[in-house]
Amino acid sequence: MINPNDPTLKSWIAVDKDSDFPIQNLPFGIFKREGKLPRAGIAIGDYVVDLAEAALTGYFRELHVNLQIFEHNHLNPVIGMGKEKCRMLRQIISELLRHDNPELRDRPDIQKRVIHHRSSVEMLLPVRIGDYTDFYSSIDHATNIGKMLRDPDNALLPNWKHLPVAYHGRASSICVSGHNFHRPKGQMKPPDADQPVFGPTKALDFELETAFIIGTPTQMGDSVTTSAADQFIFGMVLFNDWSARDIQAWEYVPLGPFLAKNFASTISPWIITLDALEPFRVEGYTQSPAVLPYLHYTGNRNLDIQLEVIIQPEKGEPTCVTRSNYRYMYWTMEQQLAHHTVNGCNIQVGDMMASGTISGPTPESFGSMMELTWRGSKPLKLKDGSERKYIDNGDTVIIRGHAEKNGVRIGFGECKATVLPAKN
């Protein structure tokens, strides 16, 4: 078998060299064609491979699975096949699409059923998310927030370097890219006011994050070690953890963020498998002081994924407001998952665990408006001449991400949403 990550592989489907989805990627998603039911698909270039039709054609015989798993409105039953079968599935698709394989290439009749142009499909939320956890694992982000909200000289709290701090978030309001939402309303207490007031947030922010999706469940009482963690992670998406900073500041003590976050979150539609990202492993952040043994790990467990955020005003040209990288993460995904389960907390297929805002060390790489404008004190100038302290109504915020090496670009597609005015 050929390695599906081999940079020399080419497909008989023409793929633009700037495409996020070359044959080395093959991410999983749920798509819907007009008048049809949702189905599982795999992206290649500008096309989607219809996994339900591919299954009916007989391409997946060797998987020995119930072929109806590809006909749900979420990927959970596909991912739930387990890491080995998902790997086989990606391998089968990789082989089918290879430039020198005539099996599907020379059968336009079958292609008509199995291959759709992506412009003809709508992408849906890829997984049914059971529980969603948000970590807080970027040291530059945690330091920036600590400097602004607490003590500039002791920005990191005492626990931060000993454990990957995290909290539970709301799963119901996680939407796929393209799902717009209304500016949230809520309680906030202006610094000069005696009493809280109610109204639309005046400090709507994005948070540049990624998230990983659980592919293998555990039972209550079980723990996942850092060395086994990869086997429990199916893949990654881009994630915008929308935040209302004024609501957050007033509500979050002592139990953490609640209404400041749970009104909407946005994820990108294609899940990039951890397998496709394997060539982009890099050394992790040097952790000092040393972590407790259950958080030890070996090898290059970080990932070099370039990330950027674009603000597109309603009528103005888009401006890239930050460029960051996943490698700025202090804690690895494996450490996050080991920590999450060390107390016996069970995980389920489709659970989502987000990185927390990924900020780099320089002001141009900060992952939120709160950091980029230093709490509004240094507004950002956009290309259309307008200024932003936070996000305006009508603004579309787009997160993009990709890894690149040896001429192969593994991209994430887009994670975008437009802010609509508050409802009356």
Q: At 370, which helix (H) or strand (E)?
A: helix 369-372
Cα 342 to Cα 196, 219, 246: the distances in Å are 40, 12, 34
- Taking CB under 8 A as the criterion, the residue among 166, 176, 277, 398 binding its own copies is 166
131 near its own copies (CB under 8 A): yes
Q: Which long-range contacts (CB under 8 A, 24 or more apart) does 374-382 make?
A: 374/148, 375/148, 375/245, 376/203, 380/319, 380/321, 382/311, 382/313, 382/316, 382/319, 382/321
Instruction: Please confirm, yes or no, whether 402 is among the known catalytic residues.
Output: no
Q: In angstroms, rounded to a whole number, what is the distance separating the alpha carbons of residues 14 and 47? A: 10
- Among positions 219-258, residues that touch its own copies (CB under 8 A) are 220-221, 244, 247, 250-258
416 strand-pairing partners: 398
Cα 161 to Cα 121, 155, 288: the distances in Å are 44, 12, 7
Q: Minimum distance between the CB of residue 6 and its own copies, rounded to whole angstroms?
A: 38
- Taking CB under 8 A as the criterion, the residue among 98, 141, 245, 340 binding its own copies is 340
- Among positions 40-79, residues that touch its own copies (CB under 8 A) are none
Write down the catalytic residue from 64, 99, 117, 141: 141
Stretch that binds its own copies, among 45-53, 60-68, 112-120, 194-202 (CB under 8 A): 194-202
Name the pairing type of β-strands 208-214 and 265-267. unpaired
345 near its own copies (CB under 8 A): yes
- Taking CB under 8 A as the criterion, the residue among 12, 72, 101, 130 binding its own copies is 130
Q: Minimum distance between the CB of residue 347 and its own copies, rounded to whole angstroms?
A: 7
Q: Minimum distance between the CB of residue 282 and its own copies, rounded to whole angstroms?
A: 27
The smaller minimum CB distance to its own copies, of residues 67 and 345, is found at 345
- Among positions 280-339, residues that touch its own copies (CB under 8 A) are 289, 292-294, 339
Q: Which amino acid is at 56?
A: L
- The DSSP-derived string for 113-152 is HHEEEGGGEEEE-SS--S-EEEE--BHHHHHHHHHHHS-G
The catalytic residues are 141
Residues lying near its own copies in the complex (CB under 8 A): 130-131, 136, 157-159, 162-163, 165-173, 175, 181-182, 184-187, 189, 195-198, 220-221, 244, 247, 250-259, 262-264, 289, 292-294, 339-340, 342-348, 351, 423
